[in-house]
Structure formats: C-alpha cells, structure tokens
Amino acid sequence: MPAMTRAKALAALTAPGQTYAIERQLVHGEPQRVFVNAPASLRALFEEARSDATFIVFEDERRTFAETWQEASTIAHILVHDYGIAQGDRVAISMRNYPEWMTAFMAVTSIGAIAVAMNALWTPDELEYGLTNAGAKVLFADQERLDRFAQCKGMLETRVIAVRPTSATTHPDLARLMARVGSVPMPERTIDTDDPIIMFFTSGSTGHPKGVVSSNRNVLTALMSWELDAQAGLMVLGETPAPLPYQSATLLAVPLFHVTGSHAVFLQCFRAQRKIVSMYKWQPEAAAELIERERISSFTAPAAMTGDLVRIARSTQRDLGSLLTVGGGGAPRAPEQVRQIGSSFTQALPNTGWGMTETNGIGTGIGGHDYLDHPASSGRVSTVLELRVVDDAGTTLPAGQRGELQIRGTSVFRGYWNRPEVNAEAFVDGWFRTGDVAYIDDEGYLFIVDRIKDLIIRGGENIGCGQVEAALLLHPDVYEAAVYAVPDERLGEEVGATLFCKPALDFTELEVFLSNHLAKFEIPRYLRRSEGPLPRTASGKILKRELRAEAVQALESGA
C-alpha cells in the first residue's frame, strides 16, 4: 500500500462532505479557498464552545467555558447599554494576560465591534498614538496601563474601564460594573463573516506602528488551517492517538496582544475544549511547576522561552512528561534548539511555522519528525494560502532561489488601518509583500533567510544576519545571538554580534568554531558579550536596533 503523503491527506480531509471541506468562493470579489464548515463568526465560535469543562486557569482562579461566556455576555451588555458601543466601533484592550483580557475580547467581538489589541509595553506616547489612530471609544486597562494613560498628554476621548486596579482611580472598575449588571444574555447582533473584527498593531523598522485589521473569516480560517494541518500530520503518520485520560491543556506565557498568544494559544482552545493556564509573567521555574501540576500538553512560545524550557527540562526534577508538543512562534528557532527539544522531553516533539500578524499567524507549518529532519525550515504552505518568491523585478523565481517572499489567501488581511499609502506599497496584484528574504525548495519547504532590511552588505557581499545567528547558536555555550551591521570605512559594513553566552566562552575559540560553519567574510569581526538575556519585544523578537546602537557607540568610543 503506497505511503500516505501530506498532499493526499489534505486532499482527503478537504473533500466535499468532510469536516474541513474547502471550496473556492468569491470573497471581496476575489476567488479564495474557503472552509465551508467554519463557524460563521468569532461569536459563533465562542457560543458553540459553552460547556462545564475548565477553560481559564489563572493563579487560584478557575472558569469553565460556560462561565467565561457568561462573563463576556455581561461585559458586552455593559459596552452596549452603558457605553453605546455599536458594530464597527473600536474597543481597546491593554493589560497583562488576565482572564479579563480574554473575556473583554470575547465581548467586543461578539457584538460586532473591533477589538484593538494594544501592546502592553507601549510608553504613554505610544499608547496615546494607538488609541488616537484606532479611534478607540473604550479602553480596558489594568493598573500599569492606567498609570501610563494618566501620563498621556493629548485630550483623549477614549473612556477607560479599570481592570483589577490596585490604587484609587476615577475610572469605573469592571468588577463593580459586572456585579451591578449580573448575569444577562449576550446582546443580539447580526455579524457577517467578512466584517472587520480585530485590530492588532505591528511595528516596522521606522515610523509609527500600523493597525492590522482582520475579519471573522481571516481569523477563523487561520484556526481551521491549524486544525487541518494537525489532522493531516496524523494521517501521514497513520496514527490515531489515544485520548488523554485528562483534559488537554496549554500554557499561555506569551502576550495576548500578539497573534501567537491570541490565535495559536487562546482561540485554538475553543473547538478543542482545551484548558488554558495563563501566567502573569514568564518565569521558567514557575512554568515547569505549572506544567507538572496542571498536566500541560502543549506549549507555544518564541525561541527564547522554549530555549529556557529546554534548559529547565535538563536540570529540574519536575515531571514534564505531560508535554506532547513544544511549538514556536514570533521569532525563528535555531536548528540546534529544534534538536534539543526532540531530546530533552520524554514525549514532546517540536513544531513551528512561519506567519505574520497580517496573515493571522498562519503561512507555513512543520512539526514532529518532519521538523527534526528539516530543522532549518519553516515548513510547507497552508492549504488556504499561496506563496511565491520574486526577484527585484517581481518575476517569480524557481525553487531554491532567494528573493522576496509574497503571500495571498483567505487569512490575509486587506490593509492597514488608515494607511492607504502603506497599503499601496504592501500589496502587488493581490500579493502581500512580507519583507522576508526566503527560498522554497523543490519539495515545497520554506526557508526564511532574512529580512530584506536585515542584510549586511560587506564589500559588495550580501550577508544574511539570520544565517550568522544560526551558526553562532550551534555553539553549546551560546544561548542567544543578535547579528547586525556596523559601519566600516573600507568595506562599508562589517559583521557585528551581541551574545548572551557562558561567561567563560573564549571568543577566539568561537571564531575557530564558526570557521567550520561560515565563510570567512561572514564571521563576526566585532563581538560583544551581554551579561543577561538579550532585550526582546513582547512577541519575542530581539531588539537589534538597540543592540546595534550600543555596539556602534562602543566602537566609536574605542571600547
């Protein structure tokens, strides 16, 4: 009997009459691949998931799916009747990963308003810009964000609802508002699948953050696509996993304002009836304790966090045997860490993918033994999307050749909020320009090489920062690496790197090690040592501009 391939598995699973049946339909006048059995809206997703199974665990608090829906209904009632929120209005959320982030999100999207996920690390000026740009009528904010809101200098018209305030505030307290209203049904609203429903912000190398607006269909397509890929993977393996003797559970340690946290972790829990255990902040030792106590079966996070967990797994006495998958997101994972995950846990296998805020987190995916066999790859494209790699003239390149990665399909957003000039640059004939340098091999595996703006041009040679970082991370004493260009009078640019590594690491020995993995011109000329983990954004991306500025300053001062 011929082996089941991924293509055959996907064809069988998406055939007419199947759960994941796909057909081409016109969406905004363009033919797209649509899941015909997807929920009609996020509201329908939430409502259909009501049950007495545990949903949210936060510290000593527990909520079932039904209780969470009821809380969301009460918040929605408050928004409609006390704040006059109508369909299409923007309601912002800025706080830590409290249960109220999730219930507020459910409430806003269930009444057809647009949930604006604000970066909780923003300064007062950035918070003010985001609220003004989005035209947010209401902001849900915890104490840290309330303090920053108070420092905003403009005359903001946004009304604020305080979440878990720890000091006196003039803003209404959500808990008191909910206690006054009590248990009420979700307000009735007619919501279209293609209505805009969320706005997440993404930052480029320059300028203000851009609001990425997505519809119900965009988000639900991503959720269904992850499910489809998981089912196809099982078919290829010829396995039907035995049901767990306890409820499946996932650990939420990444911010909910990032699509990894909101989509891949939070929203994926509904149809799977999966318990979500939320951490106040990332602490590897506390994570290990939660994994053991709550019998966590999946963990998805950027490479920095999964790397922490690998180190804990090798040193802790905690039982981490419940873990089945350790997923990636937000930032690339070094091939060496992929192998470490495969060898550090009793059951867990690694998985990852490439996606963007603009694609609602999906794009390509890879997991299990396939990932171990292709540790440098981001996987193969989702069934509902198309990829191409083009040269500077926009010509599609053959397999194996590097160029700009472009994407189109059903989960891709339609444009940035109030940024027509950016949209005109970002889309070419319906294809979204990702800004990534990549190639696709002859088997369809995607390899992200670098960002277009993250190249070092040394004496006319193009050097990919990602390639150099991957080589550095092969060394067992290098934990994190950031590679960047530093100015050079003769060559234009030289290779610089900041490392978080073992204090005893000898840089001369490291250069000898790198000579086996990089061309001579690619080996960093300037190396700096960081005393602690490298600074990162909340989504896990290293703050290279900050590190490069420090390196250039040190170089200019002769340090």
Sign for the pseudo-dihedral over CA of 287, 250, 111, 184? negative
What single-letter DSSP state applies at residue 521? G
Backbone angles phi, psi at 19, to 5 degrees: -55, -40
Phi-psi region of 213 (alpha: psi -120 to 50; beta: other; left: phi over 0): beta
**What sections of 40-92 are H helices per DSSP?**
42-48, 65-83
Strand-pair partners of 355: 363
Cβ-contact 507, 498 below 8 angstroms: no
What single-letter DSSP state applies at residue 148? H
- Looking up tokens 């409609």, which residue turns up? 80
Tokens of 299: 């963990």
Q: CB neighbours (10 Å) of residue 418?
A: 13
Helix, strand, coil % over all residues of the chain, rounded to 5 = 35, 30, 40
* Full pLDDT tens readout for the chain, 559 residues: 457 899 999 999 999 999 999 999 999 999 999 999 999 999 999 999 999 999 999 999 999 999 999 999 999 999 999 999 999 999 999 999 999 999 999 999 999 999 999 989 888 888 999 999 999 999 999 999 999 999 998 889 999 999 999 999 999 999 999 999 999 999 999 999 999 999 999 865 446 789 999 999 999 999 999 999 999 999 998 888 888 999 999 999 999 999 999 999 999 999 999 999 999 999 999 999 999 999 999 999 887 788 888 888 888 888 889 999 998 865 667 778 888 887 888 888 888 899 999 999 999 999 888 988 998 899 999 999 999 999 999 999 999 999 999 999 999 999 999 999 999 999 999 999 998 889 999 999 999 887 776 778 786 666 778 878 988 999 999 999 999 989 887 677 899 999 999 999 999 999 999 988 887 888 999 999 999 999 987 667 788 889 999 999 998 887 6
Long-range CB contacts (within 8 A, 24+) of 533-537: 533/304, 533/479, 533/480, 533/500, 534/304, 534/480, 534/481, 534/482, 534/498, 534/500, 536/302, 536/304, 536/331, 537/121, 537/203
Q: What is the pLDDT of residue 460?
A: 61
Q: What is the pLDDT of residue 521?
A: 81
**What sections of 384-504 are H helices per DSSP?**
420-426, 465-473
Tokens of 71: 């809380």
Cβ-contact 341, 349 below 8 angstroms: yes
Q: Considering all CA atoms of the chain, what is the largest pairwise distance in Å, rounded to the nearest integer? A: 71
Cβ-contact 395, 389 below 8 angstroms: no
Q: Whole-angstrom Cα distance, residue 37 to residue 21?
A: 7
What is the pTM assigned to this prediction? 0.85
Q: What is the DSSP string of 483-500?
A: EEEEEETTTEEEEEEEEE
Q: What is the pLDDT of residue 539?
A: 65
The per-residue b/e assignment along 246-258, b for 16 or more CB within 10 angstroms, e otherwise, is eebbbbbbbbbbb
Q: What is the pLDDT of residue 64?
A: 98
Backbone angles phi, psi at 346, to 5 degrees: -70, -35
Q: What is the pLDDT of residue 1?
A: 46
Q: Which of 173, 165, 180 is nearest to 77 (CA)?
A: 180
Q: For the chain, what is the total number of helices (H) and then of strands (E)? A: 18, 28
Strand-pair partners of 214: 198
Cβ-contact 218, 411 below 8 angstroms: yes
Q: What is the pLDDT of residue 206?
A: 46
Q: Whole-angstrom Cα distance, residue 310 to residue 333?
A: 13
Cβ-contact 6, 237 below 8 angstroms: no
Q: Which of 449, 368, 459 is nearest to 405 (CA)?
A: 449
Q: Whole-angstrom Cα distance, residue 120 to residue 75?
A: 21
Q: Which of 29, 37, 34, 39 is nearest to 409 (CA)?
A: 34
Q: What is the pLDDT of residue 338?
A: 82
Element housing 219 (H / E) = helix 216-237
Domains of the chain: 16-38+215-450 (3.40.50.12780), 42-191 (3.40.50.980), 455-556 (3.30.300.30)
What's the alpha-carbon Rg for the chain, to the nearest Å? 24
